[in-house]
Amino acid sequence: MKIDCVVGARPNFMKMAPIIKALKATPGLEPRLIHTEQHYDAAMSKIFFDELGLPVPDLFLGVGSAGHSEQTARVMVEFDRVVAANCPDFVLVVGDVNSTMAAALVAAKRLIPIGHVEAGLRSFDRTMPEEINRIVTDVVSDLLFTTSEDAHLNLANEGIDAAKIRFVGNTMIDSLLLHRERARATSTALETFGLNPGRYLLVTLHRPANVDEPDALSGLLGALGRLADERPVLFPVHPRTRARIEAFGLGAVLARHPGLRLIDPLGYLDFLRLMESAELVLTDSGGIQEETTVLGVPCLTLRPNTERPVTITEGTNILVGTDPARIVEEGLRVLAGERKTGRSPRYWDGHAAGRIAQALAEWGQA
């Protein structure tokens, strides 16, 4: 069975890397890796392929940056050409980026079966582009691979046939568990940035609702700055976020808080090392909510909702919203020793990719 495995952006790489390895090890499955290049520069793409051991993609689509509609359309046009020329038996997509939905739509219109890894996640906030991508991809998919049991309820409520759903676990955690010791052994990030384990905070911000509005971004930077008065705060800045900080003239906010350090994006191993050793992580990323849960590191999610509630009910995540006063309040609690403890959810055990490969092999033989 020829399987086209599509990736496009940084979160996809961590999820697809163990899947490609498992598919190649499974008789009867022939994976081909296709990179749409939704993320294309070295800091957001190449370093992740190198560190995660992903093979060089069989095809690059060269889509690049654009608005949501244009980017989705570009992926559809380019991937449709690939599908027409090579006739895969199955298309496998991961996550919720524009490339995920676009590739799934192409496959659906070509009547090619589709598998969606991370199916059923819902924030119930349709102002988020990712939520639209998730819903559309799930509707057209033939196999829906879920990371948590609450995802099954979401799919059932949307009328998805239970026979299509496979509870397999979390492939992002497969990557984390595989590379954790390597990150500890090889990363020099703590030394590079002069940080003491357990005595600093780590931040990521990139959601449009947080970084595209001057007042929202200014408020968040002010809250981070207040926490930086207590502990060093390291902030690897997404290119989108850095551009907004400069465009909105927020340098004065940063200047008031020298402990808030903005740095360039990091590779997977360095970020994993910093995340594992942090006293607290603050983020608007879905994947980081999951990774901190497995690492046992407190996490504050700077959003009004999350599509990963299991990280709250079972993990170390607290949903704090975007009010600066609440962020500072909850952050100071953690720094005072009020740490939330949790446990790894079921099947977040490093073997999710193997379950996906087995399900695809059985599906192909049916």
Residues known to be catalytic: 206
Q: Are 201 and 282 in contact (CB under 8 A)?
A: yes
CA–CA separation, 151 and 112 (whole Å): 24
Report the sign of the C-alpha dihedral through residues 258, 316, 268, 92, in that order. Answer: negative
Structure tokens at 118: 């991370």
Q: Which residues, including other chains, have CB under 8 Å from residue 159's CB and lie 6 or more apart? A: none
Radius of gyration of the chain (CA): 20
Instruction: Give CA torsion, residues 181, 186, 192, 195, to 10 deg.
Output: 20
Q: Which residues, including other chains, have CB under 8 Å from residue 250's CB and lie 6 or more apart? A: 214, 217, 218, 221
CA–CA separation, 147 and 158 (whole Å): 17
- Provide the CA 251 distance to its chain's centre, in angstroms: 28
Report the sign of the C-alpha dihedral through residues 145, 149, 150, 153, in that order. Answer: positive
| DSSP label of 276 | H
Residue 110, CA distances (Å) to 62, 87, 161 in order: 22, 9, 21
Q: Are 30 and 118 in contact (CB under 8 A)?
A: no
